[in-house]
Amino acid sequence: MAIIDVTEETFVAEVLARSRDLPVVVDFWATWCGPCRQLTPVLEEAARQREGKVVLAKVDTEANRQVAAQFDIQSIPAVKAFRGGRVVSEFTGAQPPARVSQFFDALVPSEAEQLVAAGDEVSLRRALELDPNRSDGALALARLEHERGEHEQALATLVNASGFAVEGLAARIRLEQAGTPPLHDAFRALDAGEHERAIDALLAVLPDSDGHRDDVRRVVVGVLDDLGVEHPLARDARRRLAAALY
């Protein structure tokens, strides 16, 4: 169902929980609101055109004041899009159909995005055919190639990609090809998911890695990028990396 009415009692299930599977666009409206009467049909048509890919949830702010207050609705119409249980985009006021269509399209995964999410090699290669600049797809494919020992092919796959994780993988491959500094233990730990041991080993060789210093640094930064800034290892590892470099 592309369009549903939501109340305070059903908001968590119908919006927050549902948005973990599909994007949910919430239309905060009221019967007395003239611009709402202009916008709502446009939202409904956009949702119908994307049946199965996005859900439109309608919240009457007069009947559901608590949820309206929770999301700081100051004026209506107010539209908020949820993915993964949180607001990812929003706008207020009546908007033309073209603007609403763009808003919905930004929420719906493209074919390439869906293929990258699938993660298998055939899907990743097709994703890069559709969008050669998808760094996430290139990184995932290069990791598969690297695991098979196809180092040159993995580097070629990363040529048009960008990002710290991409640079980290490319640097690792170059270090493996060079054979120095001795990082076998660090890479084995990394492959085993033992991130702390891997970071310790990488930082230990950094001061004596003449000629490979930048690549060792890129590997560490790539690992930290994969872990995310909130990971408990991240802050200390960044401090230790800075100390080792400067």
Q: Are 24 and 57 in contact (CB under 8 A)?
A: yes
Residue 215 CA: distances (Å) to CA of 39, 107, 178, 197: 53, 37, 11, 18
Rounded distance between C-alpha atoms, residue 212 and residue 133, angstroms: 28
Quote the radius of gyration of the chain (alpha carbons, Å): 24
Q: 223 is written with which tokens?
A: 């690992």
Rounded distance between C-alpha atoms, residue 74 and residue 242, angstroms: 45
Which among 2, 24, 36, 100 is annotated as catalytic? Answer: 36
With both helix axes pointing from N to C terminus, report the angle between 213-227 and 232-245 in degrees, rounded to the nearest 10: 160
Task: Mark whether 33 is an active-site residue.
Answer: yes
Task: Mark whether 204 is an active-site residue.
Answer: no
Which among 24, 26, 33, 205 is annotated as catalytic? Answer: 33
Residues identified as active-site: 33, 36
